[in-house]
Amino acid sequence: MAIKYSLREPMAPGDTLLEKFRNLAELGFSGIEMTNSSTREYAEEIRKAVDETGITPNIFSSRGGMGLLDARKEERQEAIQSIKDALTLCGELGGVGVIFPPLIGIKMRDHAQRIPDLSPLYNTARLEKELLNAILKDEIAPHAEKCGCSIIIEPLNRYEQWWPCTVAHGVEICEAANSPGVTTMADLFHMSIEESDLAGAIHTGGKHIANVHLADSNRVLPGYGMTDFGPPLKALEEIGYPHYCGFECRIPSRDAKAELKKSMDYLNSQL
């Protein structure tokens, strides 16, 4: 399998978007994950950079509210609209999807309000799962389908998000939505905490995996920690994974270009 490499926008060397795109093309990357520039105001700048370099903006981010599962309706509505806006932009610019971890905004933000426990009727975890399923099916999946991309539900480790934490949790959400507009992803850093078998988890994810994040066990570029990348990369090949593998981690020196190339060579050697 020839890995299609992508890089998070803030990690890309360069002072402007065009410089970042040019540097990624020079290094042999195929994609870039839009974060800070994942808004309508940057659309034309992104288009021009794509036309010149051939780099695909494969991933977009929701830049508005993160309270998709907040107890307050207005917070949920703000998050829904932000995700829809990001999906629209993603579809227009040829991306794969919009990454969204459903509960990080509730767990990690001081002003967020978690849905209260209504036991013995329903506990908080059940309410959150059922609410997420309803929002995805009724609001987000139909819009994603129209845009030709997907919301990519991101499982995170237990210290950042109560749920979903594993690839299997992500698959549950995809199967409940039953729509190509809802997918999940495999992040090898979070998986190194939550999964007992990285390759097995990728096989579990199968066709539902629409993005992969690369980071070693210490969240530095692959090759600087303890993760064995061979089995999960081979598992991606075995499931016929067609999308991008994006670095989301720390670059360990100021020479970003050299370090990125070194890590890509290392990963290619594991196949």
Backbone phi, then psi, for 186, in 5-degree steps? -120, 115
* Rounded average pLDDT over 35-44: 97
Q: Is the pLDDT of residue 183 over 90?
A: yes
pLDDT at 65: 86
Q: Is the pLDDT of residue 266 over 90?
A: yes
> In which domain, by residue range, is 9 found?
5-269
pLDDT digits (tens, 9 = 90+) for 223-234: 999 999 999 999
Distances (CA, A) of 19 to 13, 23, 262: 8, 6, 20
Q: Is the pLDDT of residue 23 over 90?
A: yes
Helices (H), 66-187: 73-92, 104-107, 124-135, 141-147, 167-177
pLDDT at 195: 98
* Rounded average pLDDT over 62-77: 94
Confidence (pTM): 0.97
Q: Is the pLDDT of residue 253 over 90?
A: no
Confidence of residue 110 (pLDDT cuts 50, 70, 90): confident
pLDDT at 105: 94
Q: Is the pLDDT of residue 37 over 90?
A: yes
Q: What amino acid is encoded at 88 in this protein?
A: T
pLDDT at 227: 97
Q: Which residue has the tokens 């729509």?
A: 179
pLDDT at 1: 81
Say if CB 72 and CB 109 are below 8 A apart.
no
Confidence of residue 41 (pLDDT cuts 50, 70, 90): very high
pLDDT at 223: 96
H or E segment to which residue 198 belongs? helix 198-205
Q: What is the CATH number of the domain that holds 111?
A: 3.20.20.150
pLDDT at 236: 98
Backbone phi, then psi, for 141, in 5-degree steps? -60, -45
pLDDT at 217: 96
Q: How many domains does the chain have?
A: 1
Say if CB 14 and CB 22 are below 8 A apart.
yes
